[in-house]
Amino acid sequence: MDKVEAARKARQLLSQNHAAEAFKFLWYLAEQTHLVDAEYDENLRQLANCYRMVGRPRNAAFVHLYLHDVQRAAQLFGTAPRDIARCQAISGDHRSGAAQFLEAGRPAHAAIEYERAKDDPAARVLWERISQDPRSRSDPYVSSLVSFNLGRCCARLGDRAAARKSLVNATRLLEEAADDFETRGLRERAFDCFQILMTLGRDEKQFENLAEGYLNCIRILKEDHLKYYVLQYFEDFQKIALEREEHHAAATLFRESAEYCQRLGLPYERSYRKRCATTWVLGAHKTIADGGPLELAENAYLAAIDGFNALGDYVRVKGCYDALCKLELGVEKQKRYARISARYDNAYEAEVDAPPFPDYLRQDTAYPDIWYLDLIEWEQAGDIGEVSTEILVDLKYPDVTRRKALLCRLHALDAPEGDEEQLAVLAERLGQIQLYASLSPLERMVTHPAARVRAAVMRALRTLFYKRSFGLLVKGLADPEAAVRRDALAAVSALHFPHAFDPLVRIFREATDPEVKLAALGSVGRINTLEAADFLLEVLRHGESQFRTTAKDLLVNLDLQDLPTILRQSLALETGESRNLIAQVLRAKGDFGV
């Protein structure tokens, strides 16, 4: 159907009061989510008009909500508390929105709106009420979020005793939840726990919580092989440590950053070693200024000397020995340090080639208010309508994404309750939105008794590039229905991105079905990282014969600068079939000397 012709027919039919006949043309135009804003918005206004004409004002209201015509949407919603609450929240009337959310049975939504209205006394009452709710108390993670919000709220109200009690409880629950998530292989959820611990440490100026949060986030990022995020988190934590004059911690972080760069062959190793040595000097100065033990200052200078020596920066080596001579460490030590310092009298300033971690590789480490968003998700309990509404009103998302969320919301309104076919369509629409938020309703749908719905969930996963998707995918691979397993298998082949490496390897190692193992191996082979190459090489060398040739072909297609070197090193250690396969890869890459 031509969109120009569809628009013409829709206008004509609407002018003749044939709204029902116009609807199919207007819905077709709404499905064209790629259109420019002005054209698409005009089509939506016509669709809203059509909905009103056929007596479906709530549908029209959601269209106006997408267009951010909140006043018109509120008029059409009528008196439904949840819908009115959303309109008031978008309009900035957070206090009224909170009251409506509370009436609609959404106390966490209401508490958040009260906080946005700067009404902390009302918010505190709700956080305390939610903290006693058996539903929240049964989930350590949800309970930790409630305690965290309650503690911050009490702190703003000046009740330090209550704030400390809640925040200590939040810390304990976050650590418990993180352990549980990691035990279940949900490292991305544990990462959220540690991010909140970082926030708690910053807010409360508790370096211990800050360190626990950052170091665990760095550990998880390392395990997920996200090297530039690792360095960004190192950089952020180093900056905070220096600002708080935690020089020992900062120097240790610089050393660990240098070792990480060395292992990965990144060019920033020397820069971090230089900053490590410089930070040890700062630590020595602070120890002396604070009247601390001179042995600590001595050790800091010696650590700095090791660093400067490794860099060939002998002028600064001499400077450290000169400083050691002045410390009252005993005559013999002072003489010894003076003798060593004299060896560097002819040292000259040499430029140290140490490129720093560049600004253009710095990642955005800002993250959303998890302590709000995850409670909203918990309270929505996977409701398709609420999740899609949350997206369609949020202007931070691209228009195309918001349009797909609007279509999902409108479809959910019209779908008869319990209609399996329509629920399957909605599952696929959630996948088309391509946002993390889509996973919550899909997690609810994956247990549906109808196989066609569960299969649609698997199809939706093909475009949801999140580690959390694999929790659903594993269920699909074990589903009793062949159709569901088939769509899950297709999703395994579609999900290949850096975060997916670990869950894909886990699927390969744990699966008993050769088709599943091949699909997982194929997706690993499309992740162009050294970690993926190492795994493929492991399969080529030690895997079952039916997978070794596949691993060889995947290695041929990987485009990694260091891969030929790694292959030649492995070639020297292998014999028989493994050596032959590695040689084939090298020849395919143009190395004919094997």
Each residue of 553-586: pLDDT tens digit? 998 888 877 788 788 877 777 777 888 888 887 8
pLDDT digits (tens, 9 = 90+) for 375-411: 999 999 999 999 999 999 999 999 999 999 999 999 9
**388 contact partners, CB below 8 Å, separation of at least 6:** 405, 406, 408, 409, 412, 430, 433
Q: How many residues does the chain have?
A: 594
506: left (phi over 0), alpha (psi -120 to 50) or beta: alpha
Average pLDDT over residues 539-553: 88
Instruction: Check residue 248 and give its pLDDT.
Output: 94
Q: Would you place residue 593 in the very low, low, confident or very high pLDDT band (cuts 50, 70, 90)?
A: low
Instruction: Look up residue 28 and give its two tokens.
Output: 């077709």
Residue 458's nearest CA partner among 433, 436, 481, 476 is: 476
Instruction: Check residue 476 and give its pLDDT.
Output: 97
Residue 124 lies in a domain: no
Instruction: Check residue 97 and give its pLDDT.
Output: 94
Residue 505 lies in a domain: yes
Q: Would you place residue 225 in the very low, low, confident or very high pLDDT band (cuts 50, 70, 90)?
A: confident
Nearest-5° angle of CA 189, CA 194, CA 197? 135
pTM score over 0.75: yes
Q: How far is CA 588 from the centre of its chain?
A: 37
pLDDT digits (tens, 9 = 90+) for 37-68: 899 999 999 999 999 999 999 999 999 999 99
Instruction: Quote the domain boundaries for residue 576.
Output: 499-594
pLDDT digits (tens, 9 = 90+) for 329-365: 898 988 999 999 999 888 777 676 778 888 766 665 5
Average pLDDT over residues 506-534: 92
pLDDT digits (tens, 9 = 90+) for 89-115: 999 999 999 999 999 999 999 999 999
Residue 276's nearest CA partner among 300, 251, 247, 257 is: 251
Residue 523 lies in a domain: yes
Instruction: Look up residue 349 and give its two tokens.
Output: 């300033």
Residue 232 lies in a domain: no
Total number of domains constituting the chain: 1
**Residue/partner pairs of 416-419 with CB below 8 Å, 24 or more apart:** none
Instruction: Check residue 360 and give its pLDDT.
Output: 67
Residue 566 lies in a domain: yes
Residue 70 lies in a domain: no
d(CA 388, CA 425): 14
Residue 534 lies in a domain: yes
